[in-house]
């Protein structure tokens, strides 16, 4: 008899996808009151003449003619093209302190912001202002910052190449490289780690490569939720007999079985395709050890082959021609003990030898990975271990092989390509100087962690956020709240209201912008923008829905206005720029992108071709732009130190996305594939750990940060324990509710990526309410109460 589970918890037994996915699409369209409009919108997403789906960066299929949508893309589009709007009436009715009391879900669900707003501290209300007034205030505020390096300019990866490029032009003319960006919290370990390995900070595969791969290693990503369109690709690989080997502490349903909502046969017969051929539940933070174990076993196979005269397990010709550092790497593998590998990874030597054997038989292997790899103190070196393993068998720059970081936001890769970077290369700055005729700042700027620290410590005076929800997405909401409230000026360019906008600076503005799905009319007519997907394909995106209000402006228009008013207030501009011309015709911006980045040659012509064009990828062509001129094997000594391993009370917490959320946007409180409905106040743990720590499923507990970064307020209260297949000593909970546990200082030292996915915690029976929002996690509230409220 199945045992009784707590409220809202079920055993999910079906495959991922299937009728459940189609039903969920209908529900989210209805909730946003756009059944008809949304249906039309979906038909236009990821089509040659439509808009780029804002949900993820997985590329479009080769033949963009078929109707490709996915459940979570549908939710994202419905959320953006909602019929609900908020304007003067809403903000007159609700004070900021009132709104603060609501859940994050409620706040965003109020709908699209339709008017520029300025905060009035005397009344504690946002008030509608004219665009001219808002811009005068913002320009004066930015001009008043004593040193340009005391201003921060955040971007979230939904903005287009054109908006991002114009933004970085303005900011560099203003005089700083302070570009905190969502990728600092996401794939920065890739951007920092891979250039040293293979000379480029991006993936090397294209979608076609998946047709030729016979082995996919899938490490630390959850495509059924976060890149659902990838499931079609994995299903094809599986159907034609390719192997898929998964490393993930949690059993994720989509990686086990998937029923394609686009396959008539599977839907009619309720059948499903198995995805993973083997599934290894690696310990949280144990990937580097597992990768080293596989490499060590592979080298042993190669040695054995030398003796027996069998097929070598390493690609010696590739290694000799293309790589450097093999001897040091092999020497390190030799001194890394199996006992350490087994302890750190939680996997047995024989498991890892099995993977090595499968790998040695593969002709072409792709390794896909996500946040399970990057969001650790060891993020950068984790990524480099993946590259090492691929290089051992020449799986880089040949058909069907390569490295495939799954990017997050739909244009996070493009924003980086066109200059949003706090550590710019000399070539970028030289080209900016030559093309625009001003001397850009050379000093490196702030990443997310550094900008929050500067705000918290009172060094930064102003921030402009081009999208996102920085204070909630970042680690340490305590520091973020303090930081935002220290500022003289905060500006939020946004589609919707979120909690970051409730952390009041002396002067705070909200500026409503168009989303991807909407018609963008400027002086020369309807405009298209461009984006770059996870596989370096650049293509056009054209919205067609009517904007939610006549005062909602394009991001590009807003950036242009901020630039004009700031330099007017300063009384001078480093160089005369005709901002109105760029805003009036985005193809002029593309001309300049092309002038600064030669890879965009013939930009305007090439985006007219359906599907767009591919940016050249040096590593994919086996050109290694590294210091050694070769692909480098990079050594990380030993295995990740298992902090707290000696203490049986310390658990390692990882933070996850539920199926019904997009980062900090919570669409609903369900997480269907993990069997959770109507609640997010969950701590997943295995039955052995529950028994060992004296808990039962359904118990309500508090979790506190342990060890180095422990602090009395690093506590999340009242989570309910739910049984889940996880390795011993590991637990999991939802992002962003768990942010208060993560210290700003707890990050990868190389890439500054917060270690969102390996937080040492202790678990204890729930104590009395600590008198803060930490007691109401269930409602999705994080952070502190607002000052106005205290
Ligand atoms: N619907 C939807 N789509 C999205 C997003 C969204 O929130 N919702 N977010 C977008 C963004 S910005 C991003 S970056 C991507 C994120 O996409 P993913 O990388 O898939 O993100 P996560 O859900 O954070 O975690 C991925 C997986 O890592 C596993 N994991 C946790 N810790 C470890 C570990 O130590 N080792 C290993 N091997 N695995 C581990 C978790 O069990 C989980 O299955 O998705 C993008 N697409
Ligand atoms: N604990 C933990 N923390 C994490 C993660 C984790 O796995 N665990 N993941 C990290 C990752 S991978 C990322 S990428 C970050 C995400 O960090 P962000 O990108 O800052 O966060 P989002 O939640 O994606 O931002 C959502 C907001 O963007 C605005 N928005 C939506 N569409 C548009 C648009 O078209 N234009 C503009 N201007 N604004 C728009 C809306 O106001 C919405 O509220 O979070 C990171 N934080
Ligand atoms: Mo991300």
Task: Say if CB 534 and CB 205 are below 8 A apart.
Answer: no
Given pLDDT bands bounded at 50, 70 and 90, which one contains residue 713?
Answer: confident
Q: How far apart are CA 339 and CA 341, in angstroms?
A: 5
Name the residue of 52, 108, 158, 220 to mutate for ligand 1: max ligand atoms within 8 A of Cβ: 220
Name the residue of 24, 159, 217, 222 to mutate for ligand 1: max ligand atoms within 8 A of Cβ: 222
* 134-184+411-610 fold: Rossmann fold (3.40.50)
Pocket of ligand 1 (CB under 6 A): 55-56, 72, 186, 219-222, 225-226, 247-250, 252, 282, 284-285, 287, 370-372, 406, 408-409, 654, 656-657, 661-663, 757
Among candidates 638, 612, 668, which has minimal Cα distance to 71?
Answer: 668
| The pLDDT of residue 782 is above 50 | no
Higher pLDDT, 276 or 292: 292
Q: How far apart are CA 598 and CA 425, in angstroms?
A: 15
Q: How far apart are CA 678 and CA 698, in angstroms?
A: 15
Assess whether the previous peptide bond of 575 is cis (omega < 30° from 0). no
Ligand number nearest CA of 662 is 1
Among candidates 379, 407, 415, 374, which has minimal Cα distance to 153?
Answer: 415
The first and second tokens of residue 304, run together, are 């054995």
CATH superfamily membership of 188-406: Dimethylsulfoxide Reductase, domain 2 (3.40.228.10)
- Within 13 Å, how many C-alpha atoms sit on residue 761's CB side? 33
Among candidates 47, 165, 752, 61, which has minimal Cα distance to 414?
Answer: 165
Contact residues for 747 (Cβ-Cβ < 8 A; gap 6+):
377, 449, 475, 753, 754, 755
The whole-number pLDDT of residue 47 equals 67
Three-point CA angle 237, 239, 244, nearest 5°: 45
Tell me: the pLDDT tens digits for 514-547?
998 899 999 999 999 999 988 889 999 988 888 9
| DSSP helix/strand/coil, 530 | strand
Among candidates 499, 496, 467, which has minimal Cα distance to 484?
Answer: 499
Q: How far apart are CA 166 and CA 585, in angstroms?
A: 12
Distance 195 CA to ligand 3 centre (A): 20
The first and second tokens of residue 183, run together, are 């990728």
Domain limits of the chain?
16-80, 134-184+411-610, 188-406, 643-782
| The pLDDT of residue 779 is above 50 | no
Distance of CA 295 to the CA centre of its chain: 28
Distance 428 CA to ligand 1 centre (A): 31
Ligand 1 atom closest to the CA of 222, numbered from 1:
20
The whole-number pLDDT of residue 451 equals 98
Look up tokens 């792709």; give the residue: 366
Among candidates 764, 759, 734, 735, which has minimal Cα distance to 747?
Answer: 759
Among candidates 685, 712, 251, which has minimal Cα distance to 693?
Answer: 685
The whole-number pLDDT of residue 374 equals 98
Among candidates 654, 679, 658, which has minimal Cα distance to 738?
Answer: 654
Q: What average pLDDT does this structure show over 343-361?
A: 97
Architecture per CATH, 643-782: Beta Barrel (2.40)
Among candidates 681, 717, 736, 732, which has minimal Cα distance to 480?
Answer: 736
Q: What average pLDDT does this structure show over 62-80?
A: 67
Given pLDDT bands bounded at 50, 70 and 90, which one contains residue 267?
Answer: low
Among candidates 756, 722, 751, 764, which has minimal Cα distance to 737?
Answer: 756
| The pLDDT of residue 172 is above 60 | yes
Name the residue of 219, 255, 370 to mutate for ligand 1: max ligand atoms within 8 A of Cβ: 370
Q: How far apart are CA 51 and CA 455, in angstroms?
A: 36
- Within 13 Å, how many C-alpha atoms sit on residue 272's CB side? 19
Q: What is the mean pLDDT of the chain?
A: 90
* Burial (0-12, 13-18, 19+ Cβ within 10 Å), 338: middle
The whole-number pLDDT of residue 67 equals 46
Pocket of ligand 2 (CB under 6 A): 108, 156, 158, 182, 185-186, 371, 375, 408-409, 466-470, 473, 493-496, 498, 513, 515, 555, 655, 663-665, 735-736, 738-739, 756
Distance of CA 53 to the CA centre of its chain: 15
| Strand pairing category for 125-128 and 117-120 | antiparallel
Percentage of the chain lying above the pLDDT 70 cut = 91
Contact residues for 460 (Cβ-Cβ < 8 A; gap 6+):
150, 151, 152, 178, 446, 451, 454, 483, 486, 487
DSSP 4: P
The whole-number pLDDT of residue 46 equals 66
Distances 600 to 139, 163, 400, 507, 603 between C-alpha atoms, Å: 32, 16, 26, 39, 5
| The pLDDT of residue 264 is above 90 | no
The first and second tokens of residue 324, run together, are 């450097």
Q: How far apart are CA 77 and CA 28, in angstroms?
A: 10
| The pLDDT of residue 273 is above 90 | no
| The pLDDT of residue 750 is above 90 | yes
| The pLDDT of residue 69 is above 70 | no
Q: What average pLDDT does this structure show over 378-399?
A: 98
Given pLDDT bands bounded at 50, 70 and 90, which one contains residue 347?
Answer: very high
**Global pTM value:** 0.94
The whole-number pLDDT of residue 783 equals 38
Contact residues for 442 (Cβ-Cβ < 8 A; gap 6+):
429
Closest-CA residue, ligand 2 atom 41, reads: 496
Tell me: the pLDDT tens digits for 443-475?
999 999 999 999 999 999 999 999 999 999 999
Distance 226 CA to ligand 1 centre (A): 7
Given pLDDT bands bounded at 50, 70 and 90, which one contains residue 354?
Answer: very high
Q: How far apart are CA 354 and CA 277, in angstroms?
A: 12
Distance of CA 304 to the CA centre of its chain: 42
Q: Where are the beta strands (DSSP E) in 687-747?
A: 700-705, 715-723, 730-734
Give whichever of 28-42, 91-105, 281-295 has the largest mean pLDDT: 281-295
Ligand 1 atom closest to the CA of 226, numbered from 1:
3
State phi, psi for 45 to the nearest 5 degrees: -85, 140
For residue 465, what is the enclosing H or E element? strand 462-466
Look up tokens 């890879």; give the residue: 599
């Amino acid at each position: 008899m199945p045992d009784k589970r707590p409220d809202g918890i079920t055993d999910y037994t079906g495959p991922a996808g299937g009728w459940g996915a189609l039903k969920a699409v209908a529900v989210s369209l209805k909730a946003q009151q756009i059944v008809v409009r949304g249906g039309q919108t979906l038909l236009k997403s990821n089509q040659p003449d439509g808009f780029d789906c804002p949900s993820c960066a997985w590329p479009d299929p080769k033949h963009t003619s078929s109707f490709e949508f996915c459940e979570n893309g549908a939710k994202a589009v419905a959320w953006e093209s909602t019929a609900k709007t908020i304007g003067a009436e809403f903000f007159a009715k609700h004070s900021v302190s009132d709104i603060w009391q609501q859940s994050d879900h409620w706040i965003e669900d109020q709908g699209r912001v339709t008017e520029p707003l300025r905060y009035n501290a005397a009344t504690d209300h946002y008030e509608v202002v004219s665009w001219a007034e808002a811009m005068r205030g913002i320009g004066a505020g930015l001009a008043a910052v004593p040193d340009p390096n005391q201003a921060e300019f955040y971007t979230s990866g939904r903005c287009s190449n054109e908006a991002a490029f114009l933004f970085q032009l303005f900011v560099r003319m203003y005089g700083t490289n302070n570009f905190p960006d969502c990728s600092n919290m996401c794939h920065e370990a890739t951007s920092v780690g891979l250039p040293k390995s293979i000379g480029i900070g991006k993936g090397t595969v294209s979608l076609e490569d998946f047709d030729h791969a016979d082995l996919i290693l899938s490490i630390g990503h959850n495509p059924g939720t976060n890149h659902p369109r990838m499931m079609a690709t994995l299903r094809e690989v599986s159907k034609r007999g390719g192997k898929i080997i998964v490393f993930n502490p949690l059993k994720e349903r989509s990686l086990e079985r998937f029923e394609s909502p686009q396959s008539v046969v599977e839907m009619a017969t309720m059948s499903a395709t198995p995805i993973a051929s083997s599934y290894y539940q690696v310990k949280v933070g144990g990937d580097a050890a597992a990768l080293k174990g596989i490499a060590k076993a592979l080298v042993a196979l190669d040695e054995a082959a030398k003796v027996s005269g069998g097929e070598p397990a390493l690609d010696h010709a590739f290694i000799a021609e293309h790589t450097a550092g093999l001897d040091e790497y092999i020497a390190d593998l030799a001194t890394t003990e199996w006992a350490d590998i087994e302890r750190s990874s939680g996997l047995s030597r024989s498991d890892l030898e099995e993977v090595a054997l499968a790998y040695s038989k593969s002709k072409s292997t792709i390794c896909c990975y996500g946040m399970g790899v990057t969001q650790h103190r060891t993020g950068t070196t984790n990524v480099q271990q993946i590259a090492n393993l691929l290089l051992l068998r020449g799986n880089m720059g040949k058909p069907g092989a390569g490295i495939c970081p799954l990017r997050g936001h739909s244009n996070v890769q493009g924003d980086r390509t066109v200059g949003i970077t706090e550590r710019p290369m000399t070539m970028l700055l030289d080209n900016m100087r030559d093309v625009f005729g001003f001397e850009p700042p050379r000093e490196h700027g702030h990443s997310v962690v550094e900008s929050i620290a500067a705000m918290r410590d009172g060094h930064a005076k102003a921030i402009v956020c081009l999208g996102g929800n920085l204070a909630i997405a970042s680690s340490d909401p305590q520091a973020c709240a303090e930081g935002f409230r220290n500022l003289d000026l905060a500006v939020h360019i946004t589609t919707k209201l979120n909690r970051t906008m409730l952390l009041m600076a002396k002067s705070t503005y909200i500026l409503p912008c168009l989303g991807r799905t909407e018609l963008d009319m400027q002086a020369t007519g309807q405009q298209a923008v461009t984006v770059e997907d996870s596989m370096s394909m650049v293509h056009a995106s054209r919205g067609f829905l009517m904007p939610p209000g006549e005062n909602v402006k394009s991001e590009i228009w807003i950036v242009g206005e901020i630039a004009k008013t700031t330099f007017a207030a300063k009384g001078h501009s480093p160089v005369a720029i005709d901002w109105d011309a760029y805003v009036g015709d985005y193809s002029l911006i593309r001309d300049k992108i092309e002038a600064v980045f030669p890879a965009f040659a013939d930009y305007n012509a090439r985006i007219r071709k359906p599907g767009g064009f591919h940016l050249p990828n040096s590593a994919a062509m086996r050109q290694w732009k590294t210091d050694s001129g070769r692909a480098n094997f990079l050594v990380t000594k030993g295995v990740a130190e298992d902090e707290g391993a000696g203490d049986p009370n310390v658990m390692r917490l990882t933070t996850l996305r539920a199926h019904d959320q997009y980062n900090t946007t919570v669409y609903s409180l369900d997480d269907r594939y993990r069997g959770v409905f109507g609640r997010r106040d969950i701590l997943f743990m295995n039955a052995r750990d529950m028994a060992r720590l004296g808990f039962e499923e359904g118990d309500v507990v508090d979790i506190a940060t342990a060890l180095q970064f422990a602090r009395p307020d690093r506590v999340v209260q009242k989570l309910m324990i739910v049984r889940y297949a996880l390795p011993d000593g590991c637990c999991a909970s939802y992002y962003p509710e768990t942010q208060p546990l993560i210290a700003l200082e707890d990050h990868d030292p190389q890439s500054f990526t917060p270690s969102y996915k390996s937080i040492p915690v202790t678990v204890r029976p729930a104590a009395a309410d600590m008198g803060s929002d930490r007691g109401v996690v269930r409602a999705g509230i994080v952070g502190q109460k607002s000052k106005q409220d205290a």
